[in-house]
Amino acid sequence: MKNYDMEDIRNIALVGASGAGKTSLVEQMLFNVKSITRVGKVEDGNTVMDFNDEEIEKGMSLSLSVANFDWKNTKINILDAPGFADFANEQISASTAVETLLFVINASAGFEVSFEQSLELLENRDVTKAIIVNRMDNEGADFYKTLESIKENSDIIPIPVLIPIGSEHKFSGIIDLIKGKAFIEGKSADIPADMKDIVEENKMILMEAVAESDDELLEKYFEAGELTDDELLSGAKEAIKNGLIVPAFSCSATHNIAVNELLEAIVEYLPSPADKNEILVQDGKDEKTVICSEKGDLVAYVFKSFSDPNVGDLAYVRVFSGCLKSGLDVFIPEKDSKDRIGSMFFVLGKNRIDADDLKPGDIGALVKMKVARNFNSIVSTNSKIRMLEVPLPTPVFWQSIKAVNQSDEDKIGIALGKLLDEDSTLSMQMNAETNENVLAGIGEQQITFVNKKLKSRFKIDAGLKTPTVPYRETISRNADISYKHRKQSGGRGQYAEVYFRVAPKPRGEGFEFINSIVGGTIPSKFIPSIQKGLNEIMKKGIVANHPIVDISVDVYYGSFHDVDSSEMAFKIASWNALKKAFEVAIPILLEPIHEAQIVIPNEYMGDVMGDVSTRRGKILGMQQKGKKQVLNAQMPLAELFGYFPALKSLTQGRGKFTQKFSHYEKVPVEIASKVIAAAKKTEE
């Protein structure tokens, strides 16, 4: 394949609304540049970018895919990310590999929930942003109304650059305001007479935005009342590169209207890797700037990894600086381990073309990397630098997962490990108390998709259910008790007697064992057995089979037998003594309380506050964030398990929340009694 310099590459990611036509747009681009011979359709399951079985079955993008092609001696690497919020990892991954995010919006649907979620998810990514108003041929399509809805509902002010000629069934082409030319059916044409006022109005908006992005241009604009064509072009490119202008382009992918003009705009107006050749990296505890070049420090980044049953582990990689070659020994700082570069490819959907090397600014795929996975840096073996850590959403949905067939229990852990490598917003923890593997993610569809991939890729059937809440047990008053363990059944017997003072401790202080034995009423050699016995029963629990916390046990008296006393006898005496203490010390259950930060449009505030209260939540306060309200609250984890779908329903999908563990708190009596009854039933 032809070699491209950094200035001759464009790396872009299509993100935004689900169903806005991102995959169809890539498909049409690939056809126009003659990379494919026919245009596939998402609904037919035959597009280049949606090639997984699950995507074909659902008729929608579920994972990030990559393509590359040449447009007039410029290489365009294009990433197609699913718009559905549950697959936020794919959009975040895409944003780490490109200079430009193209937010695609449906001209007839306007400011949809999935578009809003995409904007908010990626608002802090330090990349160029642009808007594509697609489906201009649809009934109800309105370019200007769509841009206005973005202004009203977000902090983005889109500036028209490719404006439509007509709309709906009359959409026939675009006018490039920077060039001052119309393009109809892919050919240059005169600007329609009835559009001259609209063109003049929008060109003034563009010109003012460009002038305001640069003090020198602003001064010229004030003096002359306008900018020259060259000043407008160079000023617009610089402002777009620096994120001072968010350009907006109109097109119709399905009717192939203005797709070529969009490709022209990508090449002419959007930044190349050479335009944004400085990256911030971590160097030990400090941050430093690396100037990207072929002869510079090696810095590459695995922005997406996945396991292909036919090929093995595959990693999509963006090279920022230096050069990757097969056989090169490298270092993966996040894993503190070496790796070796094997075969390399350029990617077109599921198809691959061998690559001799990957140069700075380019995107490709690596096969069978042993160490490097999603969001891992690839640097020289003697280097200490790494890419900055990418902030990820916190989990908001949990499911325990278990193999249906016992024969798959050993395999499911390995398979899940591979799938978790692909999606960094997923995590899994083994709850030793409940013996459950708990998957934590950012949505129902995401976890359901994992389960489907277990079946399709690894032939493992698994069941999902709401996890068991990790309650804790403790006491609410002091108890002074004794217990004598005596057993005689012929031969050597068992004997141990202990006296305990048991008391509750402040929340979070754990377990304290106090030895107050004097006079040898219990020999010192048996004291560790008493403590060990207490530790064992505290792990198991007494009233509901949950760990016991925040108590002190003072052993202050007891008795023993020269022959029949043993370590086991004192352990058994300790177990039963603590059980006896719980009978009189009024045991209580504790539940995990999480802090939740709920972000919602103003109009849903009343409904959400009411719902939080019904879920035993405590509202701590609220604040304005942009055009939304942030509600700070504390909620029991038991209620939080089902909160994600409830919040979606209450806010028409526009609400979101983050959470983190805060503390343990007493469970209300009526709920605790149900938990205890269920535990006893299970035990029986």
pLDDT classification of 45: cutoffs 50, 70, 90: confident
CA 521 to chain centre: 60
pLDDT classification of 600: cutoffs 50, 70, 90: very high
Domains 397-465 and 591-680 share a fold: yes
User: Domain 473-585 adopts which CATH fold?
Assistant: Ribosomal Protein S5; domain 2 (3.30.230)
pLDDT classification of 320: cutoffs 50, 70, 90: very high
User: Domain 397-465 adopts which CATH fold?
Assistant: Alpha-Beta Plaits (3.30.70)
* Cβ partners under 8 Å of residue 267, min gap 6: 10, 71, 72, 74, 76
Identify which of 584, 590, 595 has the alpha carbon closest to the alpha carbon of residue 661: 595
The pair of three-digit structure tokens given for residue 482, joined into one six-digit string: 């004794």
Q: How far apart, in whole angstroms, are the C-alpha atoms of residue 682 and residue 684? A: 5
Within 10 Å of residue 266's Cβ, how many Cβ atoms? 20
Query: Would residue 210 be called left, alpha or beta, if left means φ above 0 and alpha means ψ between -120 and 50 degrees?
Result: alpha
- What does the DSSP 8-state code read for residue 19? T
* 278-387: CATH architecture: Beta Barrel (2.40)
Q: How far apart, in whole angstroms, are the C-alpha atoms of residue 428 and residue 440? A: 6
Q: What pTM value is reported for the model?
A: 0.87
Superfamily of domain 6-188+246-269: P-loop containing nucleotide triphosphate hydrolases (3.40.50.300)
In this structure, which CATH number among 3.30.230.70, 3.40.1190.10, 3.30.70.580, 3.30.70.240 belongs to the domain 591-680? 3.30.70.240
Question: What are 187-206's pLDDT values in tens digits?
Answer: 999 999 999 999 999 999 99
Q: How far apart, in whole angstroms, are the C-alpha atoms of residue 288 and residue 620? A: 39
Question: What are 378-420's pLDDT values in tens digits?
Answer: 999 989 899 999 999 888 999 999 999 988 988 898 889 888 8
Collapsed DSSP state (helix, strand, coil) of residue 49: coil
Name residue 605's amino acid: M
The pair of three-digit structure tokens given for residue 491, joined into one six-digit string: 């031969």
Mean pLDDT score of the chain, rounded to an integer?
A: 92
SS (H, E, C) 319-352: EEECCEECCCEEEECCCCEEEECCCEEEEECCEE
Collapsed DSSP state (helix, strand, coil) of residue 624: strand
Provide the edge-to-edge strand list for the sheet that holds 494-504. 479-487, 494-504, 551-559, 511-515
Domains of the chain by residue range? 6-188+246-269, 278-387, 397-465, 473-585, 591-680
pLDDT over threshold 70, residue 59? no
Question: What are 4-24's pLDDT values in tens digits?
Answer: 999 999 999 999 988 899 999
Question: What are 263-272's pLDDT values in tens digits?
Answer: 999 999 999 9
pLDDT classification of 226: cutoffs 50, 70, 90: confident
pLDDT over threshold 90, residue 503? yes
Question: What are 442-488's pLDDT values in tens digits?
Answer: 988 899 989 988 998 889 999 999 999 999 999 999 999 999 999 87
Position 491 scores a pLDDT of: 67
